Amino acid sequence: MAHSRAVNREKHPTIPQLAWTIDELCAAANCSRSYYEKEKRGGRGARETYFGRVIRVTPEDGRAWIADRRR
């Protein structure tokens, strides 16, 4: 039987998160989802990893994307 992400996090709280959702990346970067999508359409989005239909961004790629946004 499959468990939800919340149940898995409760059962295994010490396992580090290996990838962020796009919404989690935007929260970490303090930007809107629409800003991220605009950057992505312009070829300036973070490097994305696909797990089937699910899109994730590794913390390293997310941090690199955030660093590239600094002026």
Instruction: Provide DSSP, 55-67.
Output: EEB-HHHHHHHHH
**The pLDDT of residue 55:** 95
Report the 10 Å Cβ neighbour count for 69: 14
**The pLDDT of residue 43:** 95
**The pLDDT of residue 1:** 56
**Residues 2-48: tens digit of each pLDDT:** 667 778 778 877 777 789 999 999 999 999 999 999 999 999 999 99
Q: d(Cα 39, Cα 33) in Å, to the nearest integer?
A: 10
Classify the C-alpha dihedral 59-60-64-70 as positive or negative. Answer: positive
